[in-house]
Amino acid sequence: MPTQRREAAPAISVENGATPVPRRAATFDVEHEIRAVLSDVRPERARLEIAVQPDLVLHADRADFHRVLAGLVQHACSQALVSRVVVTASRSGASIEVGVGDDGIGADLGLQQRTLRPIERLLAQQGGSLEVTSWPDQGTIVLTRWPQAGHTANEPGGAAFVIRERVAVG
């Protein structure tokens, strides 16, 4: 595949409560873009793995997709005791879901919310949402939902930032 030139993402225009629309949206192969982002991320101790549904395409701002995914992978790799980070992507209804999971200790959810706020804002510009689920001493999964062309993944008024803590039963 030819090398894609990366440019800074333009400003997003939202008027009268309309759905955010990126000015430089393009359709791209999700697996190819995930591999491109992961080739730039060099974690010191975490093993990176991917699981992507075949032939998955997304219509979004490519630069924002890269920023969101790189930020999530870096966030996962920074968690204490992480040895494995898994990036997943699949189609779910009117959305493409991209998840980043780690096997760390599960950081404080308030801290994660503050840390992930810039990523959530980028995702909101695409009309998407972000959900964090954490299990104490087992890890965290951050799931992003990217709307497919002609759909929005959330309610009007911005991205949803859902945060949950799972408690081990035993």
What is the strand order of the sheet 47-52 is part of? 47-52, 84-92, 95-102, 139-147, 129-135, 161-165
The answer to whether 46 touches 38, Cβ cutoff 8 Å, is no
Burial class (CB in 10 A: 0-12, 13-18, 19+), 165: middle
Angle between helices 62-78 and 30-40 (to 10 degrees): 50
pLDDT the model gives residue 149: 67
Show the domains of the chain with their CATH numbers.
25-165 (3.30.565.10)
Q: pLDDT tens-digit profile of 137-170?
A: 889 999 999 998 654 444 333 344 444 444 443 4
Let me know the angle formed at the C-alpha of 138 by 133 and 141, rounded to the nearest 5 degrees.
30
Task: Supply the pTM of this predicted model.
Answer: 0.76
Report how far residue 160's alpha carbon sits from residue 148's, in angstroms, rounded to the nearest whole number: 17
Q: pLDDT tens-digit profile of 76-133?
A: 998 878 899 999 999 999 999 999 999 988 777 788 888 899 999 999 988 999 999 8
pLDDT the model gives residue 168: 40
